[in-house]
Structure 1
């Protein structure tokens, strides 16, 4: 990267979060970084989009009163110089598995960039929790050291290496630093899905059981998946595509051929 290399930086935790500040500081040493990020926490909002949003000037760039997808559209189309790369993160909390891809605001920012034909990196920090509620876990700038290291490394090298000729974006999940640099593993999203629901009168509580088994010995996810890699202390990098692809289905072709003969009763 050089001073004329442009990065649009966003997230879903909000522009004042520690994760985006640490990435801004690291990436700004190598490139021109424009921040366009939500004014507040918009976690798990997916690719929700707004018709109109307010924008405030911020010391890092622009605070948008909207979603990460809003930020990417506004940043690419209006607020900043058109970038060479979009970076989303660093998110407090991992974004692992196929079922998360459409739910995460961090991932959705990268997907939005893909529709503009801009390569993107989405970076998230895996934060193990025991009995402490996730929102009460304190994460410092030092805890993002591995995340900033790998994101800067990929931002510097992935484009020139031709990575984005085959992938629209990279979903990066990083363990907390333990004193030694973590190895990097190229992974695929886990297919594991364990959502359920429980009714109590007028309320239904949704439970994500995936997080109940997150130790290397108990983890059912197979080798090569993003969840297993990060639980084993590795940096997980999943190269992913967007827009979604379609497959040829002979059964649907047959239904289409028969459709003209169907009459409404």
Structure 2
């Protein structure tokens, strides 16, 4: 990666998170990195946008009192040099499956960049959970070593290799380090969706059952999916597009053609 390449770095865990610092330190060895990230944790906020946000100068760049999408718009349009690449992460916790693509602030930052026609990489760290509540799990910079290694590798090579001629952004999910570097598997997002809800008086609890079965021996996701790859110890890289589109739909064309005819019958 050329030392004059410009990277805009953001996340959704907040500018003071361990993951963004780890990526900043790694990427800064090879490129000019401008950080524009939320001032606090904005996880799972999707592509929510604000009309106006406060901005504070920070030792890494700029802390925005807003969402990751706010940060990308502000960073690209005003705060930083226009980048060659946007990197979002490294997120504490994996972002796996089709259903998270619209929820994750990390991925939403990459999608926002895609609408500016700027290639992006969203990187997340898969953190297995046992009996410890996820919020109480403390990670060190060393825990992000695999994530920073692969993100730097892709940032160095993906642009020149023509990867972004076919993908708007890469959704990268990385296992925790385990001695030798993990291999990369090119994957597709899992289609599993197991949300349910339970009412208790005036409250409704929402449950995401997808995470209940993350045991390698019994994982229901098929080969080639992001969840199976990362649970089995491989780095999942899903090349994705934005904006989303559908194929030509003749049945819908027929409905549209018949719309005005219904009142004439």
TM-score, normalised via structure 2 length: 0.99
240-249 or 31-40, which deviates more: 240-249
Q: Which runs of 5+ in 2 are unaligned?
A: none
1:262: how far off?
Answer: 2.5
Distance 1:218 1:205 in 2: 27
Which residue of the partner structure matches residue 219 of structure 1? Answer: 219
Which residue in 1 is equivalent to 2:16? 16
Q: How many residues align?
A: 264
Q: Alignment partner of 1:135: what SS?
A: helix
* Structure-2 separation of matches of 1:237 and 1:179: 20
1:157 maps to 157
User: Partner residue of 2:205?
Assistant: 205
Measured on the aligned residues, the alpha-carbon RMSD in Å equals 0.8
Runs of 4+ in 1 over 2 A off after TM superposition: none
Task: Please name the residue that 1:53 is paired with.
Answer: 53
- CA distance in 2 between counterparts of 1:11 and 1:263 reads 52
Per-residue CA deviations over 1:173-213 (Å, capped at 9, x if unaligned) read 00000111001100000000000001111000000001110
Matched, 1:143 2:143: yes
Map of 2:28 onto structure 1: 28
Following superposition, the deviation at residue 261 of structure 1 comes to: 1.3
Aligned residue number for residue 184 of structure 1: 184
Q: Which consecutive unaligned segments of at least 5 residues does structure 1 have?
A: none
Q: Aligned with 2:132: secondary structure?
A: coil
Query: Residue in 2 aligned with 1:76?
Result: 76
Aligned twin of 1:247: 247
Partner SS, residue 107 of structure 1: helix
**Deviation for aligned residue 1:3:** 2.1
Aligned twin of 2:44: 44
Q: CA offsets, 1:24-74, max 9 Å, x none?
A: 000000000000000000000000000000000000000000000000000
C-alpha distance in 2, partners of 1:233/1:257? 51
Distance across 2 between alignment mates of 1:56 and 1:246: 41
SS in 2 for 1:91: strand
CA distance in 1, matches of 2:162, 2:57: 35
Q: Does residue 219 of structure 2 align to residue 258 of structure 1?
A: no
Q: Secondary structure at the match of 2:15?
A: coil
Cα deviation for residue 131 of structure 1 reads: 1.1
Q: Secondary structure at the match of 2:159?
A: helix
Q: Counterpart of 2:227 in 1: which secondary structure?
A: helix
